[in-house]
């Protein structure tokens, strides 16, 4: 089964589809290692990690596609990419879909914000006319070569026009061909239930998972969301936030060591070198060396030691 088929089937399963947010090789490898078959590429995470820039439209199409291509190359995950607004009008959206599909992702999200866009939980958002977004979706659907390739449509109109406009737009986007619908920054469980009940295609919401923000979507479990009628939940900022927290702790420990002049030994605060190599696929490299290097090459590298692949254990 292709990745696009697998993602499409998972979206329509009775159980809610949980998509952790990935943004680089570390996060992609780790999500796959923990047994998830698919993930969401967080555009904000790619912008922040690759460019060191906040998610306000500074990252362009080529940088975004390049990041996605690298994540596709290092895993077997079915990845749903974040195509922002399509980087222009409907013609730009057409080529945005082409670019991501050629990179190997299983689907792309497009949103109805004005470019330059901004993170959906920030103030100051603006949206384009519904008719313009509908044409972007028509172009996106025509651009895909694989009919199973997922087109996800996001609306940011709650902050600008209210819940009735959210529902009206998502219905129009579904009619235009979107496979998966996303209303960003819904404010409470009743709004989630209302939208899920009144749209004709599967609904996606996003969760912070421990990252509580004022005036944004409340933190709910995947089970609670499923009972509200939600088909897909993404956790776009989970791993970026956890990664930053881990790096912050590491720098604090280094500061303690420098201040005290003593070694700070905290194995609980760091990934071991052995675990890192396991997650990053060293077993596959060793397998290739064992099969394809000459005996002379293997002896030069390892002496008389046998180069055997390491058994990876995936834990979900």
Say how far apart CA 251 and CA 200 lie, in whole Å.
Answer: 49
| 287 membership: H or E segment, kind and range | helix 282-292
Joined together, the tokens standing for residue 40 give 């969401």
Q: Give 127-152 as a DSSP string.
A: B--HHHHHHHHHHHHHH-SSTTSEEE
Q: What is the pTM of this model?
A: 0.92
Confidence of residue 256 (pLDDT cuts 50, 70, 90): very high
pLDDT, one tens digit per residue, over 106-155 is 999 999 999 999 887 788 789 999 999 999 999 999 999 999 999 999 99
DSSP state for residue 96 in the 8-state scheme:
H
Residues of the chain with CATH 3.20.20.60: 3-236
- As a dihedral over the C-alpha atoms of residue 42, residue 117, residue 195, residue 6, rounded to 10 degrees, the angle is -30
Supply the pLDDT for residue 316: 40
Cα 307 from Cα 286, distance rounded (Å): 6
CB atoms within 10 A of CB 145: 9
What does the DSSP 8-state code read for residue 40? E
Provide the percentage of residues in the chain whose pLDDT is more than 70: 94
10 Å Cβ neighbour count for 293?
A: 15
Count of CB atoms situated within 10 Å of the CB of 295: 7
3-236 CATH fold? TIM Barrel (3.20.20)
When pLDDT is averaged across residues 219-238 and rounded to a whole number, the result is 96
Cα separation, 184 vs 169, in Å, equals 12
What pLDDT score does 202 carry? 98
> What crossing angle do the helices spanning 90-103 and 61-73 adopt, rounded to 10°?
20
H/E stretch holding 174 reads helix 163-175
| Structure letter (DSSP) for residue 233 | E
């Amino acid at each position: 089964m292709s990745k696009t088929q697998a993602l499409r089937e998972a979206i329509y399963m009775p159980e809610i589809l949980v998509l952790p947010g990935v943004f680089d090789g570390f996060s992609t490898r780790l999500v796959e290692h923990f047994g998830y078959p698919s993930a969401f590429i967080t555009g904000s995470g790619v912008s922040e990690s690759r460019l060191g820039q906040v998610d306000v439209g500074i990252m362009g199409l080529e940088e975004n596609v390049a990041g996605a291509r690298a994540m596709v190359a290092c895993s077997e995950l079915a990845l749903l990419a974040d195509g922002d607004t399509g980087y222009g009008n409907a013609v730009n959206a057409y080529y945005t879909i082409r670019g991501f599909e050629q990179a190997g992702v299983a689907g792309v999200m497009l949103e109805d914000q004005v470019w330059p866009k901004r993170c959906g939980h920030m103030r100051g958002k603006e949206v384009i006319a519904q008719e313009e977004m509908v044409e972007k979706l028509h172009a996106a659907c025509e651009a895909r070569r694989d009919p199973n390739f997922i087109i996800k449509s996001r609306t940011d109109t709650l902050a600008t026009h209210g819940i009735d406009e959210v529902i009206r737009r998502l219905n129009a986007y579904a009619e235009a061909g979107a496979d998966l619908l996303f209303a960003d920054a819904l404010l409470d469980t009743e709004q989630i239930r209302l939208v899920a009940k009144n749209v004709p295609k599967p609904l996606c919401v996003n969760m912070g998972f421990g990252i509580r923000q004022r005036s944004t979507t409340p933190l709910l479990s995947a089970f609670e969301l499923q009972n509200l009628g939600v088909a897909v939940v993404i956790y776009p900022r989970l791993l970026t936030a956890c990664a930053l927290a881990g790096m912050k702790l590491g720098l604090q420990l280094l500061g303690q060591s420098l201040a005290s002049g003593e070694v700070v030994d905290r194995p609980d605060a760091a990934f071991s070198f052995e675990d890192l190599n396991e997650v990053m696929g060293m077993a596959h490299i060793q397998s290739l060396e064992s099969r394809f290097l000459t005996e002379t090459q293997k002896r030069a590298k390892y002496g008389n030691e046998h180069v055997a692949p390491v058994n990876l254990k995936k834990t979900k």
